[in-house]
Structure 1
Amino acid sequence: MKDILLLLVGFVLSACATPHRPISFVPAKEAVWFKFPSNLPAEGQVKIPATLAAAIQLVVDDFVPWYAKPHQNADTFDACLHEQASYDVVAAPGPEGVVFVSIWLSPGACGHYRWALDLGAVYAVDVRNWRILAVQH
């Protein structure tokens, strides 16, 4: 019992130490019109295995932290660079226990700046211990 209590306390403390993105929901009176389809549309559907999804989230949160804000006098381009939705991601399994995740600025996301398309990196993620092994810029 003591071990379980220590484990629980450790989990709570580690969860409190990690900044979490606040989740936003539409007010119920605004969402009342929305209806789910009886089945998800087959066209465009993508199944992402859990380890790939978690590795992608780890990389996106490192490369573009949700809490990082552009400087006070930032223009729209700088503000765009701080948005996670401005980046494309590709993930692929690597050697056992490793997932490679490539992240780069989506073409046209922040305007047409050719040099900005080089903004990106490839990560090697240890999916056993949820750590970033290496980053290649």
Structure 2
Amino acid sequence: MRLGLLVPLCLALLPGCALFRPAPRPAKAPPDEAARYRFPVVLPTDGQHVLPGAIAAAVAFAMEDFLPLGAQPRRGATPTEVCASQRQSYDVTAVPAADAVVFVSFSARPDACRDMEGPPLSDVPIVYAVDTARWVILSVQK
């Protein structure tokens, strides 16, 4: 009798498993292309930005909430909405604060998504307060 209840229960819960997919991973070049790529012997210093680990992690943490990796714009989105859904359309500012908090600000790049169909991107930045001790988003200012 228990087996008779277990099978229907499992079948009822199985569709819910589809909701628990692993997070998308960044795309990687095919092996033949990767094999042809050559790194410089020494990384150039021009344009170099050194980010402390906590700052880099806070930016990645906030970005994943702001524009999750693999997220797609809605069907029928305007060109501006498609542009706004791309991470490279935003400049990022990170400011360390007291108590292991990092403020991470996302603002539309001045040259991004201009002269496109649809409403322009807001000039008001979105600011995250990230607690890097507990790895939680304390607040989002929009």
**Cα distance in 2 between the residues matched to 1:18 and 1:59:** 20
Q: Where does structure 1 lack aligned partners over 5 or more consecutive residues?
A: 1-16
**Cα distance in 1 between the residues matched to 2:69 and 2:113:** 17
- Equivalences for 1:38-117 in 2 at 5 Å? 38-112=41-115, 115-117=120-122
Say which is worse superposed, 26-35 or 109-118, in terms of deviation: 109-118
Deviation at 1:19, TM superposition (A): 4.5
Q: Which residue is 2:141 aligned to?
A: 136
**Cα distance in 1 between the residues matched to 2:32 and 2:71:** 32
Q: Where does structure 2 lack aligned partners over 5 or more consecutive residues?
A: 1-19
Deviation at 1:128, TM superposition (A): 0.3
Q: Name the % identity.
A: 38
Deviation at 1:67, TM superposition (A): 3.5
**Cα distance in 2 between the residues matched to 1:76 and 1:99:** 32
The residue identity in structure 2 corresponding to 1:131 is V
Say which is worse superposed, 23-32 or 123-132, in terms of deviation: 23-32
The residue identity in structure 2 corresponding to 1:48 is L
Deviation at 1:49, TM superposition (A): 0.5
Pick from 110, 123, 127 the counterpart of residue 132 of structure 2. Answer: 127
Q: TM-score, normalised by structure 1?
A: 0.78
The residue identity in structure 2 corresponding to 1:123 is Y
Helix, strand or coil for the counterpart of 2:58? helix
Alignment coverage as a number of residue pairs: 121
Helix, strand or coil for the counterpart of 1:116? coil
Deviation at 1:134, TM superposition (A): 1.2
In terms of Rg, which structure is larger?
A: 2
Deviation at 1:98, TM superposition (A): 0.7
Helix, strand or coil for the counterpart of 2:44? coil
Say which is worse superposed, 65-74 or 125-134, in terms of deviation: 65-74
Change (3 A) 1:51 1:59: same
The residue identity in structure 1 corresponding to 2:34 is A
Deviation at 1:118, TM superposition (A): 2.0
Change (3 A) 1:115 1:27: closer
